[in-house]
Structure 1
Amino acid sequence: MYIEQGYKGDLGLWKYLIIPGCFIGLMVVNYIAILFSPVSVEDSMAQMINALGSNIVLILVLAPLAVGLFVVLGWTKLVHSQTITSLTTSRKKIDWKRVFFAFAIWGLATIVLTFVGIYLSPEDYVFNFKLVPFLSLAVIGIVLIPLQTSFEEYLFRGHMMQGLGIATKNRWVPLIVTSVLFGLMHLGNPEVEKLGYGIMIYYIGTGFFLGIITLMDEGLELALGFHAANNLIGALLLTADWTAFQTNSLYRDISNPVLGWDVLVPVFIIFPILLIIFSKKYGWTDWKQKLVGKVLSKEEFLIEEITQNG
C-alpha cells in the first residue's frame, strides 16, 4: 500500500501540483531554448568544459537537482505534514538493505556490460584514467549523484505517484504518467540530439521499470538504489563527448554514436530479468492489483492499517 501512504499527510490537490508543475515547466522552457538555440547541446557543453573543466560543469549540472531533493523532502515535511518514511516506503522504516542490494546488482551489471562492450569493440574506446581528476570525479559523484537520482525518484515515483494515485484512485494512471514524464524529462539531453528520439525508448522504458519495482515492492528503496548505481557507476566508468555526464572517467567512447541494440537490450531483456530476480527475492505476488488495481480510500486504508497492526 505504497500509494496510500500519502493519506498520512495533509492532503490537498494544489500541494501535489506546485513542485511537479514548476519542474516540468523548467524542463519545457529548457527544451524550447535548446530547439531554438543556434548552438548544439554538444557544442555548448564543450564550450563550458573548455572554460571551466569537466568537474566544475558536472557540479553545475548536479547541484540544482541535489538541492531539489531537499525541496521535495522539505515540502513533504512542512506542507504535507507527512513523514519522509511514508513518502519513501510502506514499511515501518526505510529498508536500506533493499537500497544497497539494488545498487550492488545494477552496479555489477553496469560494470560487466561496459567491459563486454569494450572487449567486443576495443577500437571504440580509449583508456582515459588520470588519477587526480578521477579521484575528484569520484568525490563529486559519490556526494552529488545519489542526491540527484534521489530527487528524481522522490519527485516522480514518490510525490507524483502518491498524489496521482490518490487523485485517480487507481495505480495504472500514476505508473503511466510518471514513467512517460520521467522519459520526457531527458529530451534536452545531448544523447537525444545525437541519437534521435528513438533513445526515448530507453528513457521511458527505464521510467516504467522504476515505477513497476516501486509499486510491486511497495516502496522506493529498490528504485533509489538502482538509479544511483546507474548514474554513479556509469559516470565513473565511461564518458563521451555527446553524453549528459562528460566526466574524467576510466574510459572514453570515441565511436560514431548510432542508435542500436544497446537501447533495446536493457528495456526488453535486462530489466525483465531484474524484475524476476527482485520478485523471487522479495516474494512479489498479485501483480495485476499492484500495477493496475484500485487505490484504497482513506477510510479503507485506515481500517487496513488497524487490521495489520492488530
Structure 2
Amino acid sequence: MAADRPRPRPAGRSGNPAVRGGAQPPRPAPSRPLEPLRKEVDPGLLPADGAPYPLALRNAETVWWRSVMGALLGLSLYAVLVGLVNLLVIRVAWTLTHPVDYRTYYTQAIAYERPSGLLASNLAIAVLIPIALVLVLVVHRARTRWLFSVLPGVRWRYLLACLGTSAVVFVGIQVVSTVLEPSGSVGPQTGFWLFLVVIVLTSPLQAAAEEIFFRGYLMQSLGSVVARPWFGVVTSAFVFALLHGTQNLALFVNRLVFGLLAGLLVWWVGGLEAGIAAHVLNNVVAFVGAGVTTSIAALRSVQSLTWAQSGIQILAFVLAAGLALLVARLMRLRNRVDLAATRVTS
C-alpha cells in the first residue's frame, strides 16, 4: 500500500480563505521603530555656523534697521516699565502697612531706607528679562535660547562654577576694602534682616536681568547691525554706564570697565553665565557689606568714587573674569555656534 501523499491543491485556490484566484497574500511592511515627529526650524532663522556670541541673533533675515529698532524699543520699554513697576510695588507695600503718609513713605523707600524700596527696584529691573525674550521672538524671530549662550541655552555647570569663583573674589575684595577704609563700626543696621531677605531673594534676579538685557539682547542686536562683535560689546557697555544716573568720572569709568569686561567675557566664553555670576556676587556682597558696616541707604546714595576705590573694584572685575576664563578652558566650552552639534528642532 502506497504511503499517503499530500494532495496537490487545485490551481486558482489558496490556503488562505481570504485570498482567492491564485493571488498571493500581501507581505506585511517591515516594522520601523516609532520616532517622535519633529518640526525642523527654518534654517534662515539660525545664526551662521561658527558665529561668535555677539552675532548669534544675526541670521539670513537680519536687516540693520530691524536690529536698531529692536534696541530702541527695548530701551524705551525699559524706561517706561521699570518706573511703573517700581511705583506699583511701593504703592502696594504702603497700602499693606500704612506706617506713615504715602509721600514720606515713597521718599524713604526710593532712598532704600525701607526694604520695600530695594524690593521695588529689583523687581522693576527684573522686567528686563521678559522684555529681552519678547524682542528676540518678535523682532528677530529667533529662538530665545541663543540669548543665553552658543550651546544654545544656559550652561548650568559653568554658571555654578563661576558663582563659586566670583564669591571668592568679591568677598575677598570686600574684606580688603573694609580693612583699608574702616567705617568705624561693624554691626547690622536697623531692619537689616528684612533687607537681607530681599537681597538674597531678589538681587540675583536684578543682576541677571541686567546681564540678559545689556550683555545679552542689546549686545547681540547692536552687534548684528554691522556684523562686528566689538561694536555690540562697546556700545552696550556705554549704554549700561550712562543709564546708571548721576556719577563722577571715576564711578562712570568703573561701570564702563565692568560693562566692557563683562561684554568681552561673554564674547570669549560664548555665553552670559560668567557675567551673571560676577554681577550677582558683586551686588549681593556690596549690599550685605553696606548693611553691616554703614547702611543700604548709604550705598544707594553713592554718586562718586575715588580713583583708588574705583581701581580696587576694577581689580575685582579683572580677577573674576580671569578665573571665569580659566574655568571655561578647563571645561572645554565652545565659544562659537556649532550647528552640527546643536539640535535645531523645535
TM-score, normalising length: structure 1: 0.71
* Other-structure match for 1:37: none
Q: Distance in 2 between matches of 1:176 and 1:183?
A: 11
1:283 match: secondary structure? helix
Q: Distance in 1 between matches of 2:198 and 2:80?
A: 28
Matched, 1:185 2:243: yes
Q: Distance in 2 between matches of 1:162 and 1:151?
A: 15
2:150 match: secondary structure? coil
Matched, 1:103 2:163: yes
* Other-structure match for 1:74: 134
Matched, 1:263 2:310: yes
The C-alpha deviation readout for 1:35-76, integer Å capped at 9, x for no partner, is: xxxxxxxxx999424999520111222221122322222333
1:6 match: secondary structure? coil
The 8 Å contact of residues 201 and 264 in structure 1, kept in 2 or not, is answered as no
Whichever residue aligns with residue 258 of structure 2, its letter is: T
Q: Distance in 1 between matches of 2:153 and 2:168?
A: 27
Shift of residue 233, structure 1, vs aligned partner: 2.1
Q: Which has the larger radius of gyration?
A: 2
Matches within 5 A, 1:286-301: none
* Other-structure match for 2:117: 57
Matched, 1:129 2:188: yes
Residues 135/203 of structure 1: CA separation in 2 closer, same or farther (3 Å cut)? same
* Other-structure match for 2:41: none
Residues 45/102 of structure 1: CA separation in 2 closer, same or farther (3 Å cut)? farther
The C-alpha deviation readout for 1:222-242, integer Å capped at 9, x for no partner, is: 111111111122212225444
1:238 match: secondary structure? helix
The 8 Å contact of residues 235 and 245 in structure 1, kept in 2 or not, is answered as no
Which 10-residue stretch deviates more, 232-241 or 203-212?
232-241
Residues 205/24 of structure 1: CA separation in 2 closer, same or farther (3 Å cut)? farther
Uncovered stretches (5+) of structure 1, i.e. residues with no partner: 28-43, 247-256, 285-289, 291-295
The 8 Å contact of residues 68 and 151 in structure 1, kept in 2 or not, is answered as yes
Match of 1:220 among 266, 272, 282: 272
Q: Distance in 2 between matches of 1:51 and 1:166?
A: 38
Matches within 5 A, 1:3-152: 3-7=54-58, 11=62, 12-13=66-67, 14-23=69-78, 47-49=107-109, 53-122=113-182, 124-129=183-188, 133-152=191-210
Q: Which one has a larger percent helix, Structure 1 or Structure 2?
A: 1
* Other-structure match for 2:15: none
Uncovered stretches (5+) of structure 2, i.e. residues with no partner: 1-51, 83-103
Which 10-residue stretch deviates more, 17-26 or 156-165?
17-26
Residues 115/55 of structure 1: CA separation in 2 closer, same or farther (3 Å cut)? same
Paired residues, number: 258
Q: Distance in 1 between matches of 2:106 and 2:181?
A: 25
The 8 Å contact of residues 81 and 124 in structure 2, kept in 1 or not, is answered as no
Matches within 5 A, 1:245-264: 259-264=306-311
TM-score, normalising length: structure 2: 0.64
Q: Distance in 1 between matches of 2:234 and 2:342?
A: 29
Residues 22/245 of structure 1: CA separation in 2 closer, same or farther (3 Å cut)? same
1:228 match: secondary structure? helix
Shift of residue 90, structure 1, vs aligned partner: 0.2
Matched, 1:162 2:220: yes
